[in-house]
Chain A
């Protein structure tokens, strides 16, 4: 997100392209940043995240990394000390789906993977957010 008006939109776009962002994606990102909005990009070729973050900061853009990682559901549930049924009920999941993840029959993807990452990071907060 820009912390001040963009001083060099093309250099920001260039950093993104060199980080593996498609040219059109980089263009869309600088448009969003120029409008003072957040921009989300998928950057598959970042060699040095800290260096990229510093370069972005020098152009007035605060970069943050959102990493996708696979959560070991069985280990997470064991850490919480609850049954599959309780885990599913607590986080609005289907118990059969939880069982399939734990037994490796399916792999959590997309929003489910994001939810599991959030649970892994702060299980109590997610319960609080989901509770009505």
Chain B
């Protein structure tokens, strides 16, 4: 387990549920909410590409997993894994309804 850094998020990779490029990770938010993430991960240079990303809340409601929290989570992940970009591709709605979600890209802030 990795200790919470200044960003306040703690990331724990779940090896038993990971295989090859398929990675399972438990994330604890600064507010103590637990989130489970499943994605196929590819590292290209300093870009982390997440495909088929699925987010499951453990003790968090859908409202607590809003865009702002997910943006903060992406920023924390960029720090944690020392990459400059996170690109989320090929994400489908869990319900399977409607079109696939367009790719989303997060960039690391330069201080």
> Could you list which residues of chain A lie within 8 angstroms of chain B, going by C-beta atoms?
6-10, 13-14, 17, 22-24, 26-27, 30-31, 34-36
Cross-chain contact B56 with A10 (CB below 8 angstroms):
yes
Query: How far does the Cβ of A113 sit from chain B's closest Cβ, in whole Å?
Result: 30
Tell me the B1-37 residues at the A interface (CB within 8 Å). 14, 16-19, 22, 24, 26, 36
Cross-chain contact B96 with A35 (CB below 8 angstroms):
yes
Checking A9, A17, A22 against B16 with a beta-carbon cut-off of 8 angstroms, the contacting residue is A17
Checking A9, A17, A24 against B56 with a beta-carbon cut-off of 8 angstroms, the contacting residue is A9
Distance between Cα atoms of A35 and B38 in the complex (Å): 15
Checking B17, B19, B56 against A34 with a beta-carbon cut-off of 8 angstroms, the contacting residue is B56
Q: Top 3 nearest A-B pairs by Cβ distance?
A: A9-B56, A23-B19, A10-B36
- B18, B19, B36, B56: which has the most chain A beta carbons within 10 Å? B56
Query: How far does the Cβ of A60 sit from chain B's closest Cβ, in whole Å?
Result: 12
Distance between Cα atoms of A7 and B60 in the complex (Å): 9
Contacts of B19 in A (CB 8 A): 22-24
Contacts of A26 in B (CB 8 A): 17
Distance between Cα atoms of A26 and B38 in the complex (Å): 11
Contact A10/B17 with A23-B22, A30-B56 known, Cβ cut-off 8 Å: yes
Answer whether residue B44 sits at the interface, using C-beta atoms and an 8 A cutoff: no
Distance between Cα atoms of A123 and B96 in the complex (Å): 37
Contacts of B18 in A (CB 8 A): 23
Cross-chain contact B22 with A9 (CB below 8 angstroms):
no
Cross-chain contact B22 with A24 (CB below 8 angstroms):
yes
Cross-chain contact B54 with A34 (CB below 8 angstroms):
yes
